[in-house]
């Protein structure tokens, strides 16, 4: 006698959010689960189509996320429901919480209020967070995030599971000729190398300190470098700072680049700099390590959890300290080689297959309960 398969429904974020890292997580997790899922399970990513009100992008997004998606989730429940981002935790209010899991990519109402103004977005996050706390299990992407959650909120720690992100298999060291071609594409022949930053330009990314440190670097070394910022849009204030520092001719910004094209940039960079003051994890860090790119990043416990001994850490609230760390890496080919070796070893600890296997174990535990 045949029996029906258990349906696992993964609720991904709306495409109109344009949250690159969350889309990567959703795509890779679904693909990896499909390879290992037992025959008595089925897995499907679900999400309503984008919906727009002409001339009212913000309003249509909130209606779509808050009202339309909530009703959609209520009608499309599986035997296991997995909400793939904590900003959509409000969906748990409309799902059977006893069979629902939420992945938290970091941040609580306490921590987010350090970086976000009070208003509709923050109130929506409060609602989403209250929904997440109703879920049967929570997946967090770092030990730091688990400690942060438990420091301010009550939730059974036995139902919080730390599962690190993976890194795509195409992030690898490339052949010398490919790397040199990328360098020539993004820097001038007179420039000594590329300093790369990947991410957006919101306040917590600490872009202003990076720009000041880069200007100090150019003056201190009297050696031209190219600062390449990928994935963001400089604010009006940041553009004004670039002009005031006199570095506009040495700064390039690429607001969007396909994931597969990032590999060449990581390989071409002399150093990858990540001065962020707050993250849930930091996928660019493991991408850089997997490509063998030397890393300079914030001296913060989360980044130590991710990078281990494969990075140079600095107090990135201090532009002079960040400049010194960059100069230390740029001046030493031996240090660059050592960071490359350590980074490649460290990156092996992160894979989407491992992430999927650990996630499947949470599903099976919940079914057993």
Q: What are the DSSP calls for 236-290, one per residue?
A: HHHHHHHHHHT-GGGEEEES---GGGHHHHHHH-SEEEE--S--SS-HHHHHHHH
**288 with 360, same domain?**
no
**259 with 226, same domain?**
yes
> How many structural domains is the chain composed of?
2
User: What confidence tier does 30 reach under pLDDT thresholds 50, 70, 90?
Assistant: very high
**256 with 291, same domain?**
yes
pLDDT on residue 20: 80
3-state secondary structure of 161: strand
**254 with 328, same domain?**
yes
Query: The domain that contains 310 carries what CATH number?
Result: 3.40.50.2000
pLDDT digits (tens, 9 = 90+) for 10-21: 999 998 887 888
**In sequence order, what are the residues at sequence separation of 6 or more whose Cβ sits closer than 8 angstroms to the Cβ of residue 199?**
205, 231, 232, 274, 276, 284
Distance between CA atoms of residues 264 and 181, nearest Å? 9
pLDDT on residue 304: 98
User: What confidence tier does 277 reach under pLDDT thresholds 50, 70, 90?
Assistant: very high
Parent domain of 68? 6-166+351-368
- Which of the residue ranges 37-41, 46-50, 178-182, 185-189 would you say has the lowest mean pLDDT? 46-50
Distance between CA atoms of residues 103 and 118, nearest Å? 24
**197 with 286, same domain?**
yes
**189 with 326, same domain?**
yes
| Average pLDDT over every residue of 269-290 | 96
- Which of the residue ranges 44-48, 51-55, 66-70, 324-328 would you say has the lowest mean pLDDT? 51-55
pLDDT digits (tens, 9 = 90+) for 121-146: 899 999 999 999 999 999 999 999 99
Compute and round to an integer the Cα radius of gyration of the chain: 22
**333 with 200, same domain?**
yes
In a domain, 278, yes or no: yes
Say how many C-beta atoms besides its own lie within 10 A of residue 75's C-beta: 7
pLDDT digits (tens, 9 = 90+) for 69-122: 999 999 999 999 999 999 999 999 999 999 999 999 989 999 988 888 888 889
Strand-pairing partners, residue 263, are none
The two three-digit tokens of residue 157, written as one number = 């720690």
pLDDT at position 2 over 50: no
In a domain, 1, yes or no: no
Q: Is the pTM of this model over 0.85?
A: yes
Angle formed at CA 188 by CA 185 and CA 192, multiple of 5 degrees: 110
In a domain, 171, yes or no: no
pLDDT digits (tens, 9 = 90+) for 221-230: 888 999 999 9
**186 with 145, same domain?**
no
Strand-pairing partners, residue 195, are 227, 271
**208 with 230, same domain?**
yes
Distance between CA atoms of residues 78 and 279, nearest Å? 31
Say how many C-beta atoms besides its own lie within 10 A of residue 50's C-beta: 12
**193 with 302, same domain?**
yes
**27 with 150, same domain?**
yes
Contact 81, 96 (CB under 8 A): yes
User: What confidence tier does 7 reach under pLDDT thresholds 50, 70, 90?
Assistant: very high
């Amino acid at each position: 006698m045949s029996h029906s398969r258990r349906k696992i429904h993964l609720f991904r974020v709306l495409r109109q959010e344009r949250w690159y890292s969350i889309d990567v997580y959703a795509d890779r997790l679904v693909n990896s689960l499909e390879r290992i899922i037992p025959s008595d399970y089925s897995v499907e990513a679900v999400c309503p189509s984008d919906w727009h009100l002409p001339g009212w992008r913000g309003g249509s997004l909130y209606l779509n996320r808050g009202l339309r998606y909530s009703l959609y989730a209520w009608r499309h429940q599986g035997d296991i429901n997995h909400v793939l981002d904590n900003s959509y935790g409000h969906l748990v209010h409309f799902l059977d919480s006893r069979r629902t899991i939420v992945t938290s990519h970091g941040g609580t109402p306490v921590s987010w209020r350090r970086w976000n103004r009070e208003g509709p977005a923050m109130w929506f996050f409060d609602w989403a967070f209250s929904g997440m706390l109703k879920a049967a299990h929570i997946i967090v992407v770092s030990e730091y995030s688990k400690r942060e959650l438990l420091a301010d909120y009550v939730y059974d720690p036995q139902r919080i599971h730390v599962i690190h992100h993976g890194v795509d298999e195409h992030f690898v060291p490339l052949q010398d000729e490919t790397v040199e071609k990328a360098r020539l594409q993004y820097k001038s022949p007179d420039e000594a190398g590329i300093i790369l930053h990947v991410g957006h330009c919101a306040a917590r990314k600490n872009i202003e300190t990076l720009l000041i440190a880069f200007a100090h670097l150019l003056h201190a070394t009297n050696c031209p470098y190219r600062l390449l910022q990928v994935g963001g849009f400089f604010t009006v204030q940041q553009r004004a700072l670039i002009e005031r520092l006199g570095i506009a001719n040495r700064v390039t910004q690429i607001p969007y680049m396909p994931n597969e094209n990032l590999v060449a940039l990581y390989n071409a960079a002399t150093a990858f700099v990540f001065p962020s003051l707050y993250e849930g994890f930091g996928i660019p860090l493991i991408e850089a390590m997997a490509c063998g790119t030397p890393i300079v990043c914030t001296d913060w416990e989360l980044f130590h959890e991710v990078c281990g001994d494969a990075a140079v850490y600095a107090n990135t609230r201090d532009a002079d300290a960040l400049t010194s760390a960059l100069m230390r890496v740029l001046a030493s080919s031996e240090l660059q080689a050592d960071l490359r070796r350590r980074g490649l070893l460290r990156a092996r600890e992160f894979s989407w297959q491992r992430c999927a296997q650990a996630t499947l174990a949470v599903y099976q535990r919940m079914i057993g309960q």
